[in-house]
């Protein structure tokens, strides 16, 4: 088949960074500025027909994105904040105009200073969030209520992803 762009970022100096596919099949793609300028990144939802819907603006290094096993929570990391945030996901019946939405953003967990920065993340079958720590040499597991319950130390400093 032929190659077709679903979405091209129109802003010079900005690049893609992390992306994930939501339970509804949409692609959530994060961006950041090459110079990591604060507020220069975005998180955009791209539907199957190629429609791009900006979800978050004014982020710096848009990174880890994941969903709970039941699809009712979305997790997200904007790396320099040191936080892993959680959103409630409303399905088509609950969302505005029948659309699926992520609302009620709040911190799930914070990575303490000196321990690294949240980068890529994934969610396991128990609903726990595994987060790679850039400059932290570890992957951490947080329970759905934000409790840190496991740290896996690694022999590398710049851990970027976990699967």
Catalytic machinery residues: 119
Between strands 52-59 and 62-67, the pairing is: unpaired
Secondary structure tally for the chain: helices H, strands E: 0, 12
Tokens for 58?
Answer: 């004014």
Question: What SS3 class is residue 163?
Answer: coil
Tokens for 37?
Answer: 């300028």
| DSSP-derived secondary structure letter, 157 | S
Tokens for 18?
Answer: 């992390």
Picking from 160, 148, 73, 80, the residue whose alpha carbon sits closest to that of residue 120 is: 160
Q: ∠138-35-6 over CA atoms, to 5°?
A: 85
> Is residue 161 within 8 Å of residue 120, measured between CB atoms?
yes
């Amino acid at each position: 088949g032929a190659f077709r762009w679903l979405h091209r970022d129109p802003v010079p100096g900005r690049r893609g960074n992390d992306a994930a596919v939501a339970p509804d099949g949409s692609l959530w793609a994060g961006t950041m500025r090459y110079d990591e300028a604060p507020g220069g990144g975005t998180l955009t939802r791209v539907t199957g027909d190629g429609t791009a819907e900006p979800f978050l603006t004014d982020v710096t290094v848009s990174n880890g994105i994941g969903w709970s096993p039941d699809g009712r929570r979305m997790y997200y990391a904007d790396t320099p904040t040191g936080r892993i945030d959680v959103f409630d996901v409303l399905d088509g019946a609950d969302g505005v105009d029948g659309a699926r939405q992520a609302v009620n953003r709040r911190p799930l967990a914070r990575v303490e200073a000196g321990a690294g920065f949240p980068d890529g993340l994934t969610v396991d079958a128990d609903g726990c969030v595994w987060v790679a720590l850039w400059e932290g040499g570890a992957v951490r597991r947080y329970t759905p209520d934000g409790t840190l319950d496991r740290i896996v130390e690694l022999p590398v400093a710049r851990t970027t992803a976990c699967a």
